[in-house]
Chain A
C-alpha cells in the first residue's frame, strides 16, 4: 500500500510538472521538412530574338488537342497578313515533341510558336 502511495505521488507530481510546463512555458515541436530535395538544372536564357522577321520561316507547333488546329489556322492567316514576306510552316505531334522532330523543326525554321491546346 505504501509502495502504491509513493508511486501515485510520483506519477501525480510528474503530471503536475508536465502540465505546468505545457501551460506556463514553451512547448517546442521540432518537425522535419517533408519536401524532397530538387536538383534544378542550370538557368539559361531563351534564344536570341530575330529583330526582323522579313523573309524568315516561322514554325507553328500544335499537339493535336481538338480545336487547336482552328486556332493555329487563325494565327497562320494573321501572320501572313501582317508579315507577307514570312513563310509559315506547320507541325503537329505528341505532347512531348521529342528530339527527332525538334531537330527537324530547328533545321527548317528560324523561329517558332508553340501551343499545347490549354
Chain B
C-alpha cells in the first residue's frame, strides 16, 4: 500500500471518495507520524482521537452514500491560535496554559464541517509574535530541513506559523491552518518549501482566533501545493456575522477556477523590493520566477511601490499598538494563569500574572504598543503609521493600473539557525520586510516554493494580488509550481 502520508489534500479527498482507502487509515497514518516526530516539537497538543473520530464520520457518510465535504477524510493540524472546543488553546503562551475553550472558532468549525479532522494543536510563536517560532512558551519548533554538507544545526521553521510549516514539511499532516499578521503564513511556508496563502483581509472569520493585531490578522491554509491551498481556503472562508470585519461575499470556487494559463495577465516587479545587498540566491530565484510567469503567458512590467521602505516601521507600530490592547484581557481575573503573591492587591496581581504569563517578545511588543499609544506620542507614532498604511495601500492601487499581480521574494533569506537572530529583534523583524506591505494593504498574498539556495534550503516566491483576487494569486502560484518542479524534501532525521 502507498504511504498515505505522502498524499496531499486533493489526493486524500479523492482516494477516500473513491474508496481506494478509507479516512480512518489516513488518520492513523498521520497520527503515527505525529507520534514519532516529537523531536520537531511541532505540536503542543496531539489529538489522535479527534482525527480518528472525524475520519470515522466521513467513512460512515461514504458508506451511507451521503455527500462528502470539500475536506472529507483529510486530517489537518490546527494552529494553536484557533480556539477549539474542549481542546487546550494557548497561543503558545504560559498565560493561557490549561485554557480549554467552550467554543469553536468559525474557521476550525468550517473545516470540521467540510470533513476535516484534527491531528492536534500546532506550536507557534507566542501570540503569533515572532518569525522563527522561538517565542513559544512550549519550546521552539525545529524545521525538518537542514543545511547541506553535514551541517546539523537546528533551523527555524519560520514564524509565527512554524508548527504548521514544520509539520507539513515533515509529513505530519497534509495541510494546516496558519494565520498571517505580517507574513506569518508566507514566511514559514517559504522556509520549508511548501505553499501558503493569506487571503484578502475579511475572507476568513477572526471569530475564535486569539487576536494579535485585529486589523491585520487573517487566517489561511498552508499545504504542499497550490491546489490543496485552494481546496482548504474554500472550506475555511466565508462571511461570519460574528466578525464585523468579515466580508459579506460568497466564497468563490477557487479550486474549480485554477488555471495556470496567464496569457493576458500583467505581472509587476516592484523595484523597491530589490534591496541593496539582496541575497544572490534570492535574486536568482526571483529571476527564475519572472521567467516562469513569462513562460505561462504573463507580461512582465516594472512597477514602483514607493513607500515600501516605510512599511516595516509602520507595521511595528500598528501591530504592537493593537496587540497591547488586545492582550489586556489576559489579566488573571477570569481564566488562564493567575499569579497572586501573598498579600497582593489587584494591581500586584496584574503585574505578577502578566510578567509570569507573557514571554519576553510579547512583553516587548506590549510595551512598544503601550508607548506608541500614550498621550503625547500617539500622533507622532500611531497616527503617522496609519498615514503610512494608507500610502502603502495607495501604492498598490496605483500599481494595479499597470499590472494584475505582483511577484517578489517571500523573505529576504532562507531559513536561519535557531538562536541566530534572537539577540537582535530588529534583524528578526527585517525578515518580514517583503511580507508586511500586503498585510498592511489587506491584499491576498501567497508563497510558493521557488527553489533551493546554495545550502540546499528552500526559498519562496510571493505573489500579491488585488483585493478579492485570490484566484489570480492561486493561478500564478500554480504556473510557478508547474515550472519550478520543486520536489525537494527534508531528509528524515527526527
Tell whether A pairs with B: no
